[in-house]
Structure 1
Amino acid sequence: MNKNVLLIEDNLELQNLISSFLKSYDYDCVVFSKPLEALKDFEENHHLYSIVILDLGLPGMDGFDLFKKLKEIKNIPIIISTARDDIGNKIHGFELGADDYLAKPYEPRELVLRIDATLKRYINDDKIKINDLTIDLDKKRVSLENQEIEFTKIESEIFFMFIENMNKVVSREDIVNQTSLKKDTKNRTIDMHVSNIRFKINDDSKEAKYIKSVWGIGYKFTNDN
């Protein structure tokens, strides 16, 4: 299981305490105190993280606004860690899709238990159903009408990159940089791999249900059918 945590907390003493405690439980913790820096890192490296621990009282941006921006980039589990312990903020957090809400102060061990429980839920429910496609994110398997699809290694890497960036444009450059394709791979080779994926998931490039071409840039996987 991926145990990489993005911690966004502007109280440096608490930041160090939580980070050190998580590391003692084998979690890799990347920390930020400034929301814009955290957001920039998440835009570039969201595929590396399995969960976010988010403070609400941040400098320059409200935590709830940052929460929404993070979720727009990737549907990742988020635990809110905050001194705002009133019921109104807690309800708003859960309405936005928070997986848990911890009011400060709390014991770091409790946070570890909440993280463990949240990630277990995501592993147990780590399947996406889109029309006739069933996508197992944990096992990296895809089935069409209950028949497992046999992707090549590259096809699988590209397909799950599309899924991770659902409804977002993925450039050919991104595909080269974030898969095991060689850096000098030609665009037509990338397009061939995508064409093979389309065929295997029963998607028609002329009337695409899932993988839509974005002229001059790359592709976008949509689930709005």
Structure 2
Amino acid sequence: MNKVLIIDDDKELCALMKKCIEQENMSALIAYGGAEGLELVSEHDSAYSLIILDVMMPDIDGFQVLQKIRETSNVPVLMLTAKSDEEDKVAGLRMGADDYLTKPFSLNELMARVNSLIRRFTTLNPTSTIDINNLTLKNMVIDKENRIVSINAVPVDLTSKEFDLLYFLASNKGRVFTKKQIYTHVWAEEYAFDDNNIMSFISKLRKKIEPDPEHPFYILTVRGVGYRFNKEA
């Protein structure tokens, strides 16, 4: 059974969304704030088929919650906002949100988006298998526990940081990350890194994993923004 996590401080709206979701033969959990939501994600990080996430919450805003979720999970995230500001939507999508819904919205539209996102995640993505220790992608296997990467069953010699960088991007395939976000996640410290060094790491990694480094298949450049791992991989 598909399980949906709702993170929103509007208790009345949460009750309505939960009822609609359960009428579609899915289960729903509710967190009435960002901190509580992150606890539920941490406790059951692979249990959810979708997270519905409100932007404006009193303790931790939705963008911060999304950023923490994307450190460990590629679960689809549908963001809710009372604002119609295009910049907010673009920011959320660039940080890894899968879709956006502006309040007020109809419950029919909500459920249409919920079903679409879950269907795309669980049904239309059969070529890759993602679990906590291994990523099985097109022609590539990444063994997190043993820190081994193989392409067409041939091991690839990566440095420790190259492995971390590859695993981070591959485990969030299709998500666009800025150089700052990549550094913060992979180096796990305050951003104080020259963008040229990030580009150098990407270039070296491409030379080791790409069939044609001049025309990358796995790690794609998003001009003016950063990088993403090919969702078709």
Report matched runs for 1:187-202 at 5 Å: none
The aligned counterpart of 1:146 is: none
Q: Deviations over 1:171-220 (max 9, x none)?
A: xxxxxxxxxxxxxxxxxxxxxxx7xxx9x95559xx6799xxxxxxxxxx
Matched residue SS, 2:71 = helix
Q: Deviations over 1:65-93 (max 9, x none)?
A: 11111111201110011212221211212
**1:55 counterpart letter in structure 2:** D
**Structure 2: gaps of 5 or more residues:** 136-140, 161-166, 171-204, 210-233
Higher-Rg member (1/2) = 1
The aligned counterpart of 1:43 is: 42
Quick check: 2:52–2:77 contact (8 Å CA) kept in 1? yes
The aligned counterpart of 1:83 is: 82
**2:118 counterpart letter in structure 1:** L
**2:67 counterpart letter in structure 1:** K
The aligned counterpart of 2:104 is: 105
Q: Shift of residue 122 of structure 1?
A: 2.1
Taking structure 1 as reference, are residues 48 and 201 closer, same or farther at Cα in structure 2, changes over 3 Å only? Answer: farther
The aligned counterpart of 1:120 is: 119
Quick check: 2:3–2:48 contact (8 Å CA) kept in 1? yes
| Structure 1 residue ranges (4+ consecutive) displaced by more than 3 angstroms after TM superposition | 166-170, 200-204, 207-210, 221-225
CA distance in 2, matches of 1:168, 1:66: 27
Quick check: 1:43–1:73 contact (8 Å CA) kept in 2? no
Q: Shift of residue 161 of structure 1?
A: 3.5
The aligned counterpart of 1:31 is: 30
TM-score (norm 1): 0.60
Taking structure 1 as reference, are residues 124 and 3 closer, same or farther at Cα in structure 2, changes over 3 Å only? Answer: closer
Q: Percent identity?
A: 26
TM-score (norm 2): 0.58
CA distance in 2, matches of 1:35, 1:60: 6
Q: Shift of residue 167 of structure 1?
A: 9.0
The aligned counterpart of 1:150 is: none
Taking structure 1 as reference, are residues 33 and 64 closer, same or farther at Cα in structure 2, changes over 3 Å only? Answer: same
Quick check: 1:56–1:62 contact (8 Å CA) kept in 2? yes
Quick check: 1:9–1:55 contact (8 Å CA) kept in 2? yes
Q: Deviations over 1:19-63 (max 9, x none)?
A: 111111112101001211210121120111011000011121111
Number of matched residues? Answer: 164
Report matched runs for 1:112-191 at 5 Å: 112-127=111-126, 136-137=128-129, 160-163=131-134
Quick check: 1:203–1:209 contact (8 Å CA) kept in 2? no
CA distance in 2, matches of 1:34, 1:201: 45
Taking structure 1 as reference, are residues 209 and 38 closer, same or farther at Cα in structure 2, changes over 3 Å only? Answer: same
Matched residue SS, 1:114 = helix
CA distance in 2, matches of 1:82, 1:168: 38
Taking structure 1 as reference, are residues 160 and 64 closer, same or farther at Cα in structure 2, changes over 3 Å only? Answer: closer
Q: Does structure 1 residue 13 correspond to structure 2 residue 12?
A: yes
Matched residue SS, 2:46 = helix
